[in-house]
Structures are given as structure tokens and as C-alpha cells.
Chains A and B, each alone.
Chain A
Amino acid sequence: MVSLQARQVFFSYLNGLVLHNINLSIKAGEMVGLLGPNGSGKTTLIKLASGVLKPKQGEIKLDGSSLRQLSRKSIARSVAVVPQHFNIPFAFTTAEVVMLGRTPFLKAFVEGSEVDRQFVASALELVSISELKERRFDELSGGERQKVVLAMALAQQPKLLLLDEPTLHLDITHQVEILELVRRLNVERGLTVMAAMHDLNLAALYFDRLILLKEGRVSADGPPAQVLTEDRIREVFSAPVRVEPHPVTGVPHIVIIPKGNDTKQP
């Protein structure tokens, strides 16, 4: 089991502060959605949590040990990332891409043992894409590719899965499929999940806890009903919306009100 803690984390790229005094604690087995407008720091926070970026100030701890003290390899043995952009310039097959997930466990000249192949096979099965394993990755559709990348991350046997907008560019079928799968892994296997999400409605449906970022600061943190209020969405996104209970599940459902209609209250 794994837990992630950020304490007084500041981060800036060359041109300005991106994250400002972030304090977070994510417990093992949680399923957390990161929300916020473009440029609010979601992707940066994912990269910090994976250790590829280091905080300028403050500290991020994974299971009590600072990420700064851990080697890349030992982080990769418990944290897997599904990045936003993913392309491979060479013609790898699906199985070869998923095998890349075993990288943190490989040693030169004994790479790809029977054990590794079993992990690859079960990751393919878990994502239900075993039939794609001989297909070339670059010939797959966007939805299929996203599943392959997810399978690759699962072949890492992670305890913490970080996803950066996993439903971006996907049709509604694949959006639901990916999120259902992630939630199933969370429920059945206790996989801790943190995912940056743009779609507020999907986030409300699939995540138990939402963290809303605004200009690099945590603006709200809690269950969907508490985070996704009309006032807060208007403030953070400056978009006119109405929030209604979802007709089936009762979680907040955000309805966008086009300009000119926003005065008409029922």
C-alpha cells in the first residue's frame, strides 16, 4: 500500500510560479481526481508526484520516504504514469510496448523472462486487449492506444497510478471504458489513483475525492458534492453553469449555460 504526501510544495518553470504552497495527503486506496482550468498546474503536479520534476521548495513523500531520496528505478517500481502525450517513432507491437512497463524490473541480458511475459499477458488481459498483442502500436486507434498505454502502466505492477487526462481525445465509449477499468482496479486491487481530468461530469461520476486547482493553489478538496458547487465553478472556470444532481447517481452534474441564457432561472 502506498500513500502520497506533499508538504508546502512550490514549483516554477523558467517563467513563473506554477504551483504555490501545495499541501496534500493521499491515502492508500483513494481515487482522486485533479481538476482545474488549463495551466492551473494539474500536469505539473502529476509530474512532481512521479518524481520526474523536483519541487523548488517543500517535499513530496511516497510512503514516508522523500522522492528526492529514491532512485528513479525504485519510484518506477511502485508508481506508474499514463502521460498526456504518447508517441513512439518506431514500429513496436502492442506486446512490446506493454513489455516496456517491465523496464524497472529488467536487468541487462536477462530481460523479458517468463515472469515478465506473464505480467505482460495479465496486463493485456486486464485491459481486455489480448487480441491486439501482435498488432503494431502505431496502427491502433486512439482508444486502443490509450488502453495499451494503460496496460503498459499496469505491467509495472504499480501501487500508485497517475493519469494525465486519460480520456482526452477519446470517444464516449472509450472514456467510460477507461474510467470503469481504472475504478475497478481501484476497488478490486486497492490501486491508489490520481488522475488529472478536464471533464467535470466524468470526474464527478468516477472519483470519490476531487482536488480543484486554481492558478497553482488548491481551491477545494473533498467529495464531488462539496467541490463542484455552482459558485466555485463560476469562480474558478469563469464559466456560467448550473449544477444539478445526476438523475441516476445523484452526484453533481454540471450543465453549461450558453451566453444570453444565464439570467433565465426556473
Chain B
Amino acid sequence: MLSKLGRSNRLILILLLLSGGLVIALLLASAFGAVTVSLPDILKMSLNKIAVSDFSPTWRAVDETIIFQIRLPRVIGSALVGAALATAGVLFQGLLRNPMADPYIIGTSAGAALGATIAMMLPINLAFLGFGLVPVAAFLGALTTVILVYNLARVGGKTPIISMLLAGFVVSALLAAVMAFMMSMSDRFGLNLRSVYSFLMGHISVTSWIQIAIVAPLVIGGIIAARFFAFRLNAFALGEEGAAYLGIEIERDKIIILALGSLLTAAAVSISGLIGFVGLVVPHAVRLSLGPDHRLLLPASALAGAVFLVIADLLARIILIPAEIPVGIITAIIGAPFFIYLLRHTRREYAF
């Protein structure tokens, strides 16, 4: 049915459906948790909040605090993280022409983890604009690693993609070793292993609106900027040489796409630690159902990633109330079987 529609109508319809799904996911995730607040109450208090209505409260004052101070920032934070990781996944898979690529493939994860671990070790307790030292160090660690990998792979003014993959692999291994060393010596370094594991397994740690105010422009700006490169990413599917024949300035575009993907990943990692599978599975699933054209793949993956992570974080919060499961475990538990399903049923998806 969808294929009978014109291309732009199809695009609009799919994006509308996904946006609707995101709104529903956001509402559900706001309603449920250690305390349940009914959906009508959430809608009413939201309308009151933005001063378009004046419903008399049928809810406790504490419910309003829970929704606006705790739950909404977290739910919106998970939507941003999901969208950022899925978009970064599309960018890396498209640029590297590798369907197995994920946002962490060229070392962002190892860099962020090491940065965060070092920050946890430091006996300083700084908080700046709602961010502690850990998210800032994770953000910087991720970006520094990508810059290092890119420059290591650069030879004679060119950065061949295969060199970049190899450099990313080697640098990641090195950073992981340093990190393993620090963890094995945790007593000596005064390192709290629990917080390190929490970072490694992924955990949406948004506690204030200020964090959202800083991360949201990065993520939304990054997603919009990525969309400008959609047709160039399509051309990259032919390989660097093929893309060059089609008029793409490959070295310039490569560095921009890489920078966007890394920035999105670093922004996500700073408020969520290392959440796996979102950046790998979401782009896959969307490509499988809607095709590989980046003009649709990019925005659809961003929305689908947001829906996926909002739901995963909701499950992480409610399965073992009052305990919270790290959301990275939920994404892996949903993601891995789904990925196996994709592998089994889509062997024709990728040409060899």
C-alpha cells in the first residue's frame, strides 16, 4: 500500500506515524514508574503548566513534582539519547558502508568510558550547569578519541575508511586495557566500581532540565545537520571512488559526517553512559522496513530510536520497582533476539 503513494507522501506519512508513536511512548513513560500518575492528570497538569487551562488539581502536589522535576526530564532525555544514537548509527553505517557499524565503532565508547572513569576517580566534586564532572569527561573522552583515530588513519591528505576502522579498533583496545587496569586496581585508585559498571551498562542520568537544555540543541541540531547529508550518504554507498565520480568532495564530507556522528554519540553518552544496540539495531530495522535511502532512513531512525529507548527506559524503571535495571541491559535483551531474527530472515539484505 505504501509503495503506491508518492515518495514524499510516503515519507510524510511514515514520519507522522513515528511521531505519533513517540508522543504515545512519552506519555506512557511519564505515567508509569514507582508512582503512577494517570494520563488525563498528566495532560491536565501539563496544560495548566503552560497556562492554557486552569483545571483544578485532581492529583497530589507531589505528583506534579514527580512529573515535572523527575520524570519528564528523564523521559525526554531518553528520547534524545535514542534519537542521537540511532542517527549516529545511520551515519556510521552509511559512511563506513558497513551494516555492522554502530556509533561506538571508531572508539567513542572506549574514550567516553575512560574519560568517565578518570573523572570518577578524581577527588573533585564539581557541578557545572547541572553536569557533574563525569558526563563532561565522557563527552570530551569520546570526541578526543575520534580525533585521535581520524588523525592516526590519515595518510597523505586522505583517510581511507579501512584504516579508520583499524585505527578505531586498536585505539579502543588500548583504552580498554587502561580502563581494565584502573578497575583492577580500584582500591588503590579509590574508584567506585559500582558507578563504573553503571556507566558501562548504560543508565539515563538526567536529573535536571538544565541538562536537557544543553543536550537537546546538540542532538536536535545534529539530527537536522545530518539530514543535509542524506543524498551524499546515498552516494557513499558506491564507495569513496564511486561517490567521487558523482561529484562528492569525499574527504570533506567524510570529516563532517564523522564529526556529526561523534558529536551525537558524545552528547548521548554524556547523559546515558554506554547504551548498546540502539545505534546498531534501530537503523537496521528501519532500513529493512523502509529501504536504504538516507533521505527517509535518517529522520525515521531518529524517531524510531527515540521511541525504542523511551520504552526501554520505562521497562528498566518498572520491571523491578523500586529497583532500576540499567537500561543498557533492557536494550540488549530486546535488541539481541531482534538482531538474530533480522540476521536469520534478511540474509539477502546485503550484497556480497
Q: Does residue B321 face the partner (Cβ distance < 8 Å to A)?
A: no
Check A90/B227 contact, CB under 8 A, given A72-B244, A100-B235, A111-B295.
no
CB-CB under 8 A from A89, the residues of chain B are: 97-99, 237, 350-351
Residue in B245, B291, B351 whose beta carbon sits within 8 Å of that of A138 in the complex: B351
The interface-forming segment of B61-69, B109-117, B246-254 is B246-254
Q: Does residue B349 face the partner (Cβ distance < 8 Å to A)?
A: yes
Q: Does residue B7 face the partner (Cβ distance < 8 Å to A)?
A: yes
Q: What's the nearest-Cβ distance from chain B to residue A92, in Å? A: 6
Residue in A88, A103, A111, A112 whose beta carbon sits within 8 Å of that of B246 in the complex: A103
Contact, CB under 8 Å: A109 / B237? no
- Classify the secondary structure of B's interface with A: loop
Per-residue CB contact flags for chain B residues 279-315 toward chain A (1 = under 8 Å, else 0) read 0000000010001110100000000000000000000
Contact, CB under 8 Å: B228 / A88? no
Per-residue CB contact flags for chain B residues 231-248 toward chain A (1 = under 8 Å, else 0) read 110110111011011111
CB-CB under 8 A from A139, the residues of chain B are: 348
Contact, CB under 8 Å: B231 / A93? no
Contact, CB under 8 Å: B247 / A77? yes
CB-CB under 8 A from A104, the residues of chain B are: 246-247
CB-CB under 8 A from A111, the residues of chain B are: 230-231, 295
Per-residue CB contact flags for chain A residues 75-112 toward chain B (1 = under 8 Å, else 0) read 11100110100111111110010001101101011011
CB-CB under 8 A from B293, the residues of chain A are: 92, 96
Q: Does residue B229 face the partner (Cβ distance < 8 Å to A)?
A: yes
Closest chain B residue, CB of each to CB of A96: B293
Contact size range, A: 35 or more
Q: Which of A71, A100, A104 has the most CB of B within 10 A?
A: A100
In the bound assembly, the distance between CA atoms of A125 and B226 in angstroms comes to 34
In the bound assembly, the distance between CA atoms of A73 and B231 in angstroms comes to 13
In the bound assembly, the distance between CA atoms of A100 and B244 in angstroms comes to 12
In the bound assembly, the distance between CA atoms of A72 and B232 in angstroms comes to 13
Contact, CB under 8 Å: A103 / B247? yes
Q: Which of B231, B232, B247, B295 has the most CB of A within 10 A?
A: B247
Contact, CB under 8 Å: A108 / B351? no
Q: What's the nearest-Cβ distance from chain A to residue B13, in Å? A: 17
Contact, CB under 8 Å: B231 / A86? no
In the bound assembly, the distance between CA atoms of A138 and B292 in angstroms comes to 13
Closest chain A residue, CB of each to CB of B297: A90
Contact, CB under 8 Å: A73 / B247? yes
Q: What's the nearest-Cβ distance from chain A to residue B159, in Å? A: 15
Check A91/B237 contact, CB under 8 A, given A71-B249, A83-B242.
no
Closest chain B residue, CB of each to CB of A162: B245
Contact, CB under 8 Å: A91 / B242? no
Q: Does residue A50 face the partner (Cβ distance < 8 Å to B)?
A: yes
Contact, CB under 8 Å: B230 / A108? yes
In the bound assembly, the distance between CA atoms of A112 and B10 in angstroms comes to 14
Contact, CB under 8 Å: B247 / A76? yes
Q: Does residue A186 face the partner (Cβ distance < 8 Å to B)?
A: no
In the bound assembly, the distance between CA atoms of A74 and B246 in angstroms comes to 10
Q: Does residue A176 face the partner (Cβ distance < 8 Å to B)?
A: no
CB-CB under 8 A from B230, the residues of chain A are: 108, 111
Residue in B231, B241, B348 whose beta carbon sits within 8 Å of that of A103 in the complex: B231
CB-CB under 8 A from B247, the residues of chain A are: 71-77, 103-104
CB-CB under 8 A from A106, the residues of chain B are: 231
Check A92/B245 contact, CB under 8 A, given A87-B351, A109-B228.
no
Closest 4 pairs between A and B when the two form their complex, measured CB to CB: A76-B247, A138-B351, A104-B247, A90-B292
27 contacts between A and B (CB under 8 A): A71-B249, A72-B247, A73-B247, A73-B249, A74-B247, A75-B247, A81-B245, A86-B238, A88-B237, A89-B237, A90-B237, A90-B349, A91-B287, A92-B237, A92-B291, A93-B291, A100-B234, A100-B235, A100-B237, A101-B246, A103-B234, A103-B246, A103-B248, A108-B227, A108-B228, A112-B295, A156-B246
